Structures are given as structure tokens and as C-alpha cells.
A = this chain, B = another copy of it.
Amino acid sequence: MTPTISMGQYLFKRVAELGIEHVFGVPGDFNLTLLDELFKVQELNWLGVCNELNGAYAADGYARIKGSPGVLVTTYAVGELSAMNGVAGAYAEHAGMIHIVGMPGRAVQEARLMLHHTMEPGMDQTIYVGMAEPIRKTHTILTDEKTMAQEIDRVIEAGVKSKLPVYIYVPMDVVGTPLDASRLEKPLSTEVVNSNSQMEDEVVKSTLELIKNSSKPSILADVLTIRHGGRELARRLASATQFPTYSTPLSKGVFDETDSKYNGVYNGEVSFPGCADSLESSDLVLNIGFLLSDSNTGGFTRKIPNGNLVLLGHDYCQIHDKKFDGIHFLPVLKRIVEEIEKDPKQSSLPKPDTRAKVETPLLSTSTSGPITQSYIWQRIGRFLRHNDIVLTESGTAQFGLTDATFGAHTQLITQTFWSSIGYTVGACLGALAAAKEQQRREKQLTSNETSPGSSSRVILIVGDGSLQMTVQEIGSYIRFGFTPVIFVINNNGYTIERAIHGERMGYNDISMLWDHQAMLGFLGARQETGVKGRSFACRTVEELEAVLTEEEFQGAGCIQMCEVFMEKLDYPWRLSSQIAVSRKKMAQAMALQG
């Protein structure tokens, strides 16, 4: 007799196979029995979140650190719809997500009963399935027992390969369906392979040729390099070639920023002095994992002629004007790196480039007085350790921290493309879970020795307006014993919106009555619960310096919140500059149209 396994356990065993150890979600009556199955899979831990949008953000943040998709479990209608904005963000920025939705049993669906969470008599109960169509790569509704296992495999594989959200809809009554357990012995096929090997050959060969014949080559690795698992390859390419390297606002941290060949964040006209000139003077730009959105291209002001450009993307590559549709950069990059690495005489490389390193300007030498945008970001940059994980919220933090210089392995989570405010508070929970897994594995590798200094601190930087969107999830950090460092920028409202329009209009105000100093206590860190939390308020550079240089604060041994008071009309230069450039472009576009 073939050994069997319940559908629910089969699904979660496949999830565990990806190395995933934490699953996020909210219970609801249509997913409770599915959660029973999850709880039987030892490899997985359930992190119940406060609401589904935060859960989607958490799954997204987890994926960005882990490299595997985050897993989110929600319930029919109310749950899945609440998560939509978070899932769409994971789609836009290729975070990867397996969204599992519990739904009414098949017979109930067929009878079209007017259950709670439906909307009208006789409604097709799969109506919500259609609503999510634009924000996923693929989906399955597990109705047919004969194909369930293969459908689960197909959808998960598609999710892993594409790094886009996928949906698995589970009718309540199929959770216990016995599936062939032996199928699990064959691992999922998750490797990205280009089916057109001839085209891949051509991209590899032409790129190597261009590299060899270049005189001023550069590597510009963008965010999809990281999302699609190419970060280490990009670093190996940089190391093997010793070409000058550049990141983008979204990919900041992709390269070791302390390296002598690193030249900063290239963002068209919104770059540090010398950075754009340096990149744009190249006769060859290897642009890996590009994402050419407004805020990631200085408002569409990149100036790299096609004749100098090799685009290595996730759905196409392009060499000068020749486009190779469907070619994924990952196998291409792997081959290029291996080719160059196995060439000890470096005959495949051009002569070393003598380009000067672009130095990062010091924006402020403040040592006292009010905390300004020009001062704080590079100062927080110096607070960061080489392997920290840092999250910057859409707004001043996101634009500001671009000015900092990161340590060798610092990882940044920010959502400059989708730009949903409140995102980082949820994403931070996911990053914390992923960091914990990483740490546990490292400990196992080093035979349980403690290796001090190697553990990643998780640092969240969020504005007061964004915090109000998703604040409750800080309670989840506390509940699950995480100890992030949280900076709250208290500057009286939606400063990014003020910079754009309506500087002093009431719609950009928020409640200024919140007592951030009481936040950690309210959400669980206080004497009575035995959970330690520390809160600080800084109105001056001196006060902030005192906090940042305190050893206990740096140690991140308990959850800590540092509230930083800043002027509401003080903007990071990158934000103002981005807006000015966008306005100019828009006016030009209008003039052309008119």
C-alpha cells in the first residue's frame, strides 16, 4: 500500500522543503483545520500576526532576507482581501510569497450557500479568486483530489522561480485528503533554467566578448539581482573583475560598500556628485537585475546609451540593441562568473580601469543642536554594523539612508517602487524571523559556539505617519521575543507628502497626541510582563549621540525604541531633488503632448 499524507501536511512539507521555518497569518473559520495540519509539521513555526496586511508585509520582509518566498495563511474573503496591498507590493518588488487561503468546502461552494464572508445570494464563491489575478504569477484551487499534489508542486515551483506571489486556495473539506506521500521524496524543481540554451549561449558569449574588449567597464547591480538570488554572483563578478561597482536606491547593499571599487548609488540626476558622471562615462555597463521605476532611476534620468549597455534581466536580456526575450540573468551570470573565475591569467578581462573612486561627501559635521535630515542619515549609517539588517520606511528614511555607507554585509529592506507606507513595520517582523533562522543555522554550523558580533541586528527606521498605519505589529515583535532597534522619526505628519504638495495643508497632518515613549510598554515590554524594553527621546544631536554610542543600546539585547524629533518641513536632499526632477520631466512630457 502506498503511504499517504494529508493534503495539508503535504503542502506544508513542501513549504518546509524550501528551508522555510516560519509561517505568518491570521486564523479564520475557513482555515482552522488547515492550521491543524500546519501545526503537525515540526519544521514550521506559526507566527500569528495582528492583521492580514501586516502579515503580507511580514511574509514579504521574510522573503527579502531569506531568499525563499514568505508564506502567508489567511481566511476566505475578509482575510485574503485585507492582504491585497501587501501581496501587490511583493509582486511589484519580486519578494516572493506563497499565499494560502482557506475557503468554504466544495459542497458548500457548489450549493452557493449564503455564508458569512460571501456578498449576495447565489454568489459564485470563487469571486475573490479573480480579484487577485493581477497580483500573482499563478494559482490553484484544490478541488480535484487527483491533481492536488501536482498542483501544489506546480504553484510553489512557479513562485520560487518567478519570485512573484502565488496563491493556493484550500477548500475546508480537502485538508485531510490523503495524498501519495512518496511524491515528497522527489524534491521540487526550483532552479531557474533558460529553456532556449542557444540564446543563453549567445548572451554569455557576447557579454564575455564585450567585457574583454571594454576599456571602462562597470557593474550596476539593481534590486532584482538580490531578489532573484544573484547577490553573491554579482559580488563574485565584482571581485573577479575588479570592475567599478554601483548600486541603485533599491539595491543599496548589493555590493560591499567599504570596497575600494564601490562608487555609490547611481540614480540618474539624483546621485551624489561625481557618481552619475563616473557610471555614465563607462563604455560598458553590465546592468544586472534592473528595475527601471521612477524613484529608482532618478525620475527616468539615467543616461546610458544602448551601445554601452548590457541588460541582464529576469525576463529578458539585452545586448546593445539586441533583445533576448525570456532569458533569465541568473544562469547567464553564473556562467560568466565561472568563466572569468577559471581564467587565472585574466586573459578574458580588459586592462584595469584607472577611474577614480567616487568619494561620498560628508553632508553634515553637526555635533550639537537640532537633528537635521542632512545630519541623521550618515550618522545612523555609522551606527550600523557590517551584517545588520536595516529597514527604511517609504518617506524620509528611505530617501535619507541612501546617503549612508553600509558595512560589508549590511542588508537593506525598503520599498521604493511599491511605496506603501507602513510596510516596514510588518516587514520587520518577517526580517526578524528570517534573521533568527540564519543565526540558528550559523550556530549549528559553528558547533553551537557563540560567535559574538556575527549576529545580525535588525533595525527599523519609520516615520510617525507610517507607524500609525501598522503600529500593532510591534506587539508581535515583543510577543515572539524579538529585539529590534526601532527609530521613530517624529516630524509631525506625512513629510514625504508635504515635500510633494500641500506642505502646510491639514490633510498631511496626523495625530500628534501619541506618546511614543509609552508604546513599548503598552504593547508588552514592561516590568509586569518581564519583557525588557528601552525607550529614548532625542531632540538634539547631543542626545542622539548619547544613545547611539551607548554600549547597551548598540548591543540590541532587548527591544529598544529611539524617538527622534525633527522639523516637519526638513526634507532629505534626495527627496527634494527627486521631486524637482520628476516635475521637470512631467512638464517636458506635457509640453510634448500639448
Contact = CB atoms under 8 A, between A and B. Distances in A.
Interface string A512-537: 01110011011111101101000000
A4 to B, nearest CB: 21
A422 interface: yes
A77 B505 CA distance: 23
A526 B524 CA distance: 19
Contacts of A108: 586, 589
Interface string A14-42: 00000000000001110011011011000
A81 B84 contact: yes
Interface stretch (A183-191, A434-442, A468-476): A468-476
Interface stretch (A130-138, A147-155, A317-325, A447-455): A130-138
Interface of A: 27-29, 32-33, 35-36, 38-39, 46, 48, 50-53, 77-78, 81-82, 84-85, 88-89, 91-92, 105, 107-108, 111, 113-121, 127-128, 130-135, 292-295, 300, 416-422, 468-472, 475-476, 478-479, 494, 496-497, 500-502, 505-511, 513-515, 518-519, 521-526, 528-529, 531, 586, 589-590, 593
A328 to B, nearest CB: 15
Contact of A589 (B29, B111, B131, B519): B111
A217 to B, nearest CB: 25
A123 B260 CA distance: 39
Nearest to A579: B29
Contact of A116 (B46, B418, B586): B418
A292 B85 CA distance: 31
A515 B519 contact: no
B593 A107 contact: yes
Contact of A27 (B508, B511, B522): B508
A418 to B, nearest CB: 7
B292 A114 contact: yes
15 contacts: A27-B497, A27-B508, A29-B500, A33-B501, A48-B507, A51-B53, A82-B420, A114-B294, A116-B419, A121-B292, A513-B523, A513-B531, A514-B523, A515-B523, A522-B522
Query: SS class of chain A's interface: helix, strand, loop or mixed?
Result: helix
Contacts of A132: 131
A91 B81 CA distance: 13
Given A78-B85, A478-B513, A531-B513, A92 B120 contact: yes
Nearest to A130: B134
Contacts of A295: 116
Contact of A422 (B51, B128, B292): B51
B479 A475 contact: no
B506 A469 contact: no
A112 to B, nearest CB: 12
Contact of A521 (B121, B133, B518): B518
Contacts of A502: 27, 32, 35-36
A119 B135 contact: yes
A89 B518 CA distance: 34
Contacts of A48: 506-507, 509-510
A326 to B, nearest CB: 15
A500 B113 contact: no
A32 B501 contact: yes
A513 B419 CA distance: 31
